[in-house]
Structure 1
Amino acid sequence: MTLNGWEKKYQKILNEFDYDRSKEIRSANILNSLLKTRLGLSRLEKKIKNKTVFIIGAGPSLGISLPYIKKFKNFTKIVADGVTQALIENKIRPDIVVTDLDGNMEYLKKASDLKSVMIVHAHGDNINKLPHAISFRYCIGTTEDKPFGKIRNFGGFTDGDRCVFLANHFGASKIILIGMDFGIHIGKYSKVETYNKSLKLKKLKKGKSLLEWLAQKSNSDLYTTSQSIIGFKNIKLEDLQRLVR
């Protein structure tokens, strides 16, 4: 079930970013037709429900965070798109990858080969990339619009905040953000293609505001290791061990 109140948030996103809803729906329909089977959600629930979950974003602080992430091999790691490359390069397997397919496709496929669950998002600007989803072993399609068929809607706008909405949806006990900086600088793993920086920053600002809205609704304990987010408790990377023991 989609989070209560999401439809109004989505309508504001469409208006603020001047998105064509018909293209959003078309993209979701295409992804639905590409996915071979409706992957059950039990795999996600097993990885998330009542567990401490690390949400790893591609902000500039990701680099200094990697040695700390390595210490938590048995904890669920949900990563945003380009972070996949950083983790695999450092021999860390992501459990769940949330992507709209603008990250490094080589590493997204490597994550799939490592049995990561791939959460592929359909939106109006990535229709030409959706066929890549066919090559993923465990794949769930998502939309910001109404869910149907094999397409789900857990909430969220950017890859990073969609990770948090996903963890919340499946009832994580603790959600800890790492590399989710929401600042004025873009991490090197955030985009592999040329991008509009001002638009990227606008999207990050929107993503942060959605997390602050989610915090008012969530039953999970929420933490962040980087920039302050209303509703999330700040914690230092060196204190992670104490928090999750």
Structure 2
Amino acid sequence: MMILGWKKRYFEILKQFKYSEKKDKESAIKLNSILKKSNADEKILNLIKDNTVLIIGSGPSLSSAIPKLKKYKKIVKIAADSSIKPLVENGIIPDIIVTDLDGDENSLKKIGKTKSIFVVHAHGDNLNKLEFAKKFKNCIGTTQSTPFDKIQNFGGFTDGDRAVFLANYFQAKKIILFGMDFGKRIGKFSETRKIDRKIKLQKLKKAESLLKWLSTFTKCKLFTTSKAINGFKKISYKDLDIIIT
């Protein structure tokens, strides 16, 4: 099952970035063969439904966000994998990690031994990394293409916006963004090479456009402590106690 309107946006992504739908499907088939059946979906639903969820990216504002995130130990946190290393280094273990396996492997291994749930994404460029998913105790698989068997599609393009689409799908009450800036600067934690800077900024722009689209139909209340995004209410760190309660 895909959210209404996703297929159109997926084909736009394929065209813009010259990706291969065939390779996306091949990667999804491999991930499906690796994953074991689990009740991770039920665990995710129990964590997210009707709750406030903090979504963490690796944008420039992550450094200032970390002290605030440490304060909210009992609030559900979903993190994009590029934010994992600084989070782990600061004693923050996300409840859910959304990853295409490009993040810091040591940090992913460390969290893989915890109760955290991994949402591993299969796409045409990470076919050779998918075996890494075997290291995670709790894991589900996703694709940008047509879902099947154990592979699902909640919507989204990059790890960060896929995390927001995931929270929307599992019916979060409130979604608050941290370290998701979508500007012309790339956060120091993203580990983006200089030669990849241009394509990274294009991906961020596409991710932002998808979040704007999501805001037009979601039932979740949307907030951001990062760069202002249409459809998300911009809040300061001082507002957090009021918003989260």
Greater shift, 229-238 or 187-196, is seen at 187-196
Which letter does structure 1 place at the counterpart of 2:228?
S
- 2:121 matched to which residue of 1? 121
Whole-angstrom CA distance in 1 between matches of 2:96 and 2:144: 19
- 1:162 matched to which residue of 2? 162
Whole-angstrom CA distance in 1 between matches of 2:40 and 2:73: 25
For these two proteins, the number of residue pairs brought into alignment is 245
- 2:30 matched to which residue of 1? 30
Whole-angstrom CA distance in 1 between matches of 2:142 and 2:121: 5
Residue identity (%)? 52
Whole-angstrom CA distance in 2 between matches of 1:108 and 1:132: 9
SS in 2 for 1:196: helix
Greater shift, 40-49 or 190-199, is seen at 190-199
Whole-angstrom CA distance in 2 between matches of 1:217 and 1:60: 28
Does 1:220 pair with 2:220? yes
**Runs of 4+ deviating beyond 2 Å:** 36-40, 191-195
Does 1:2 pair with 2:2? yes
Which letter does structure 2 place at the counterpart of 1:183?
G
Select the structure that is richer in helix. Answer: 2
Contact 2:61-2:226 within 8 A present in 1 as well: yes
Whole-angstrom CA distance in 2 between matches of 1:194 and 1:45: 39
What is the Cα deviation at residue 192 of structure 1?
6.4
What is the Cα deviation at residue 109 of structure 1?
1.4
- 1:197 matched to which residue of 2? 197
- 2:94 matched to which residue of 1? 94
Alpha-carbon displacement from aligned partner over 1:157-199 (angstroms, at most 9, x marks no partner): 0000000000000000000001000011111221366751000
Stretches of structure 1 that go unaligned for 5 or more consecutive residues are none
- 2:133 matched to which residue of 1? 133
- 1:174 matched to which residue of 2? 174
SS in 2 for 1:7: helix
Which letter does structure 1 place at the counterpart of 2:94?
P
Alpha carbons of structure 1 residues 76 and 28: separation in structure 2 relative to 1, 3 Å = same
Whole-angstrom CA distance in 1 between matches of 2:40 and 2:64: 35
TM-score (norm 1): 0.97
TM-score (norm 2): 0.97
Greater shift, 110-119 or 20-29, is seen at 110-119
